[in-house]
Amino acid sequence: MAFDALRNIFHKGSAEARPSGRTTLVGPRIPRHSSGWSAMLKYLKDGDSLRVLDIGPTSPSNVNFLTSLGHSIYMADVVTEANRGDWIQAKPDEDGVPAEADLESFLERNMDFKGRVFDGVLLWTTLDFLPEALLAPLIARLHSSLRPQARVLAFFHTKTAGPESVFYRYHVTEGEAVEMQAAERLPVRQVLTNRKIEKLFSDFENCKFFLAKDNVSEVIVTR
């Protein structure tokens, strides 16, 4: 069973859940200092009744923390769905790029927010684990679903880690750290330089880069 576009909807403590072939989180949570999260946390604490989109497998601790701040949280497990591959119906072209109709179908199933607009997005390392053809359409969909001055927190690998790299779920905390927890082994599909990241988010107002650490860079993008 698969989740629809908005897998779980949590409104200040209430929840509407849909059944899913859920990603199992395994292993301990590993704390990692995050300047990007620290900046995002300040933005969230300064805001009132914000809508936040958290991309990744369901994290009850993220739900509890963000709703405790008075915000609403929406979740979508885009990486898991994209790497299943069954969303590609038409034959890809000679470069392996999915047909445009498949890309649109994927976004309709996994990024259809029913007209909702968001004040913040926790994108994490999502873009590193998606087929390259999905990147621009997904960013365009996010752009159209964000309010002006909304913030996007994104992490990017600065080098590949081989075919057995780990896709981590990030759990937020009250401090300047996030907790990493292994979700599944997936390949990092591309390494995006700062210039490529700026190009992807060229329709946004600006990108603020933070010092790379542990081969992962952090960016806050302002809509």
Residue 2 has pLDDT above 50, yes or no: no
Token pair for residue 153? 């927190």
Distance CA 223, CA 221 (A): 7
- Has residue 114 been placed in a domain? yes
- Has residue 19 been placed in a domain? no
- Has residue 71 been placed in a domain? yes
Find the domain containing 93 and state its range: 8-14+30-222
Sign of the CA dihedral 170, 161, 218, 147? negative
What pLDDT, on a 0 to 100 scale, did the predictor assign at position 214?
85
- Residue 199's nearest CA partner among 184, 219, 176 is 219
CA–CA–CA angle 147, 153, 156 (5° rounding) = 135
CATH of the domain at 74: 3.40.50.150
The pTM for the full model equals 0.86
What pLDDT, on a 0 to 100 scale, did the predictor assign at position 162?
67
The tens digit of pLDDT for each residue in 3-18 reads 333 444 433 333 333 3
- Has residue 102 been placed in a domain? yes
Q: How many structural domains comprise the chain?
A: 1
